[in-house]
Amino acid sequence: MLRAAHLPRAQPAALNFLLVSKRWQQTPASPGSGTTASTKSTPGSHTTQYATNNPASAFKTQTAASRPSFNAPIDRTSNSYKTTTSPTSTYVPPSSQRTNPSSGNKSGGGAGTLVKAIVYGVALGVTGTLAYAEYENDSFRRQLESTIPYSATILGGIDQVIDPVLGRQKSITKGITDKVPDLAYVKEKLPGKDQVKKLGEQVKDATNHVVEKFPDKNALKKVGEQAKDAVNKVTGTLTDQSKAKGLVHQTTDQVKDAVNTVREALPDTKGLKKNLDHVKEQIQDAAHTVKETVKEAVPALPKGRSGDSSGKLTDPVFIEEAGEVAVPPPIPQDKYKKLEEELSQLFAPLSTQIDEALSAAREHISHMKTLIDNPHISTSDHETWKKAEHLQEQAKTSYEKATDKLREWKDKLIEYSTATNGQIHPEEKKLDEKYQELHKQYTTSTFVKNFRTYIDEATKSFQKEIETMFPSLAGKNPTQLTHEDLQALLVHAHRRVVKLQNDMARMRINESDSIKAGVESARSEIDRLVEERVQTRVAKTTEQLTEELKSYEKNLRQQFDEQLKYEIVLQHQALTQYLADVLSRQYQEWAREYEKQLENESMKINLNLQNQLRSTLDRLHAIEQAIEANYDSQQRGRQAQQLWIQAQNILNQIVHGTTTENDLDVISKIVPNEKFVHILLNELKADDSPVTNEEMLRERFAHVNKLCRRVALIDDEHNSLWNYFLSYLQSLLIVRQRDDIILTDDAIDLNRLSTFTILNYVQSYLDHNQWYNALRLMQLLSGEPRNVAQSWIADTRNYLAKKQTSELLEAYSNSIGLGTLPRTA
């Protein structure tokens, strides 16, 4: 940190000192002082940020002007320090600072954390429920699915992920409920036999009602009484002679009226028939309604496809929906249409004809009525009678035509009704009504036709009667009648009236009886018919319904069977697949195991064989090697001998003379393969130091010795010639000790060496041929003597190295030789 090398050039010393002191203060050992330093340097910068730019910059500004070269290092260091210390220093204040803004944030963050907590809680709850539902897969899941709308989809999605993982499958049997689909409700909706019977009874009641509406005895009685009154009136006004005939006529008229009224009041068979038809219609309607209800009850299921969901029928068993209900096959449309067309075609002309006939009949009747009403009718009025006859003829013909046509129509209608199975043509009713009326009118017309004859007969009979009873009166005029005649006539009339009364009473009785009988028979007939019809209709409908039910049931059963088969097939498939999987897996496992075992065994055998092979090979190799080694050793022995000889040669040469290249080459020829020898030889060859031998070195040492003595006082420095002179003088004065005590103690005191002592020692070493010691000691020389002896030292060293090398060579050869000596046990 302290760039001592780069001292500022022009520094106020005080500032420098300040800097240094500051630097020292800012060592990390004293953060407190660091704070003080920082506070010193940065007054009022505590409230600033964490970053130390401000203090550094403040520092910079202080020192910028005077210290450009220092700025960068200072700032860096100070920055680093500031950053390290100011955190510690500003930890206390800005920590409080930080808590302030953080506490400020906390209130805002409190709400945020609350929201977060809520969100987490909700998410946790949802995931928990989903996971539990998924895991449980039973009642809780079903509950969840039923209550929460989209949970089923979510769970289904999760199922798709989890089921393969866990290996769950939606059990098919669980989906099917044990309940057989409830067909009872279908049956309930069917109108039972009771209902149909009820309808029949209703019809019966209606007929009874109708029948009851028939005029009963009271009405007849009334009519009879009317007649009686008329007769009484007649008797009351017996005195009136002038009006006697008129009265008679009136009475006859009245009687006729009474008869007519009676006849009218008679049970009108046509009306009866009409009522019967009406009843029949009612029955038909009832049956129709029954069928309709049946149809409605059995739901009209469309023919379903296997993929569609059963929407209409909440029937969990079936995937497919039942087929169509066995509705009675519809009328083949063409025939129906044709018939209908024909009927409608026939209808129009028929209706017109009927109308015609009707009108004709009506006319006739009206005419006759006028005739009847007219009291002054006389048989001599031929025109009117002819007209009446003509009219009657017309009416008859038209009536016959109408009936023919109607018969045709009826046939067609029957056909139609059989084809449509009882459906009624809409115009049938109208036609029937018309026909009824026509018939009625026609009968009255036929009845009325005979009016004339009746009148004629009546008058004739009356005339005859009068003539027989009162022949005397017959010829007289009405004005000539005497009182007795009149009385006789009156008596006769009275007697006649009584007779008529009796007749009427008898007739009444007869009529009532016949009426009763007729009514009874009609009733019974109606009853029978109704019953029959009802029975047939009921039977038919019940048959139909049972058929339908059976077919429906069959259908359902069939579908159920199919479904069951399908499911069984699926399960079978699944089972077989599962079995196959398990088997294959087992097979694989076992196969793997056995293979492993096989491998192990084979490996073991292999290894055994290999081991044996190796051992035999090793033995073989060892034998070979032994033989070779033997040979080698012999050879090496020979080589060693030669080497030794040569080495000795070299050594001698080194010591006493010079080595020549030939010698070295000879050695390389002897042992071409030895690396060690090669290295040594290379060393010897490379050694191009001047060839010396021992004697030369000794001589040189004597010279060196002398010189060293002469320059003993000269050091490395402060050499002047005067010193040289002095050292020479000294050398002349110092006398060498010739004791051998020098070498008695081997330990040389190294602290008390001087040039002379060293030289003495070395001389003695050389005398005793201890070259290494001599060399070592010589190296302890210092100063000018060292310089003088330098080359001698180097040469001695080289010589000794060479010698060593050659000795090594010799030793090596010895070692080889020793190695090849036969081993003695």
| Minimum CB distance to another protein smaller for 288 or for 700 | 700
| Shortest distance, position 716 Cβ to another protein, whole Å | 8
With H, G, I as helix, E, B as strand and everything else as coil, classify residue 259. Answer: helix
Q: How many CB atoms lie within 10 A of CB 215?
A: 17
User: Is the Cβ of residue 634 or residue 689 nearer to another protein in the bound state?
Assistant: 689
Residue 704 engages another protein in binding (rule: CB under 8 A): yes
Residue 778 makes contact with another protein by CB under 8 A: no
Q: Minimum CB separation from another protein for residue 703, in Å?
A: 6
> Distance of CA 285 to CAs 85, 196, 272, Å?
112, 12, 20
Instruction: Say if residue 20 is exposed, middle or buried (CB neighbours under 10 Å; 0-12, 13-18, 19+).
Output: exposed
Interface with another protein: number of residues (CB under 8 A): 25
Instruction: Report if residue 689 touches another protein, rule: CB under 8 A.
Output: yes
Residue 515, number of CB atoms within 10 A of its CB: 20
The reply on whether position 690 binds another protein by CB under 8 A is yes
Q: What is the DSSP string of 273-341?
A: HHHHHHHHHHHHHHHHHHHHHHHHHS--PPPP-TTS---SS--SS-SSPP----PPPPPPHHHHHHHHH
What gap in Å lies between CA 127 and CA 147, rounded to an integer? 17
Binding another protein (rule: CB under 8 A), the pick from 15, 466, 707, 742 is: 707
Q: Could you say which of 210, 372, 431, 788 contacts another protein (CB under 8 A)? A: 788
Q: Verify binding: residue 804, another protein, rule CB under 8 A.
A: no
Task: Point out which span in 251-259, 455-463, 563-571, 780-788 binds another protein (CB under 8 A).
Answer: 780-788
Check if the beta carbon of residue 39 is closer than 8 Å to that of residue 55.
no
Q: x/- binding map, residues 714-753, to another protein, per CB under 8 A?
A: x-x--xxx--x-----------------------------
784 binds another protein (CB under 8 A): yes
- Whose Cβ is closer to another protein: residue 52's or residue 727's? 727
Rounded CA separation 93/286 (Å):
105
Interface pick for another protein out of 166, 491, 794, 818 (rule CB under 8 A): 794
Q: Cβ of 686: how many Cβ atoms within 10 Å?
A: 8
Measured CA distances, 249 to 245, 378, 455, 500 (Å) = 6, 12, 11, 14
Beta carbon nearer to another protein, 60 or 797: 797
The pattern of x and - marking residues 258 through 287 that bind another protein according to CB under 8 A reads ------------------------------
Nearer Cβ to another protein, position 427 or 784?
A: 784
* 200 burial via Cβ count (<10 Å: 0-12, 13-18, 19+): buried
Q: Using the rule CB under 8 A, is 805 a contact of another protein?
A: no
Taking the least distance from each CB to another protein, the nearer of 186 and 714 is 714
Residues of this chain, 214-253, that bind another protein according to CB under 8 A: none
- CA 785 to chain CA mean position, Å: 108
User: How far, in Å, CA of 569 to CA of 578, rounded?
Assistant: 14
Nearest-angstrom CA–CA distance, 742 and 774 = 13
CB atoms within 10 A of CB 226: 15
User: Which residue of 286, 643, 711, 774 would you call a contact of another protein, by CB under 8 A?
Assistant: 711
Nearest CA to 730 out of 716, 718, 713, 715 is that of 713
- Rounded Cα gap, residues 602 and 225, in angstroms: 141
Instruction: Compare residues 527 and 795 and give the one whose CB is closer to another protein.
Output: 795
Smallest distance from another protein to CB 781, Å: 11
- Segment near another protein (CB under 8 A), from 74-82, 531-539, 648-656, 712-720? 712-720
Q: Which is nearer to another protein, 62 or 791 (CB)?
A: 791
Q: Which stretch binds another protein (CB under 8 A): 496-504, 635-643, 656-664, 696-704?
A: 696-704
CB-based contacts of 487-491 (< 8 A; 24+ apart in sequence) = 489/244, 490/238, 490/244
- Of 529 and 707, the one with the shorter C-beta distance to another protein is 707
The set of residues, in sequence order, having a beta carbon less than 8 Å from that of 443 and lying 6+ positions away, is 270
Please choose, out of 339-347, 623-631, 706-714, 750-758, the segment that lies near another protein by the rule CB under 8 A.
Answer: 706-714
Using the rule CB under 8 A, is 791 a contact of another protein? yes
Q: Which residues of the shown chain bind another protein in the complex (CB under 8 A)?
A: 689-690, 700, 703-704, 707, 711, 714, 716, 719-721, 724, 784, 787-795, 797-798
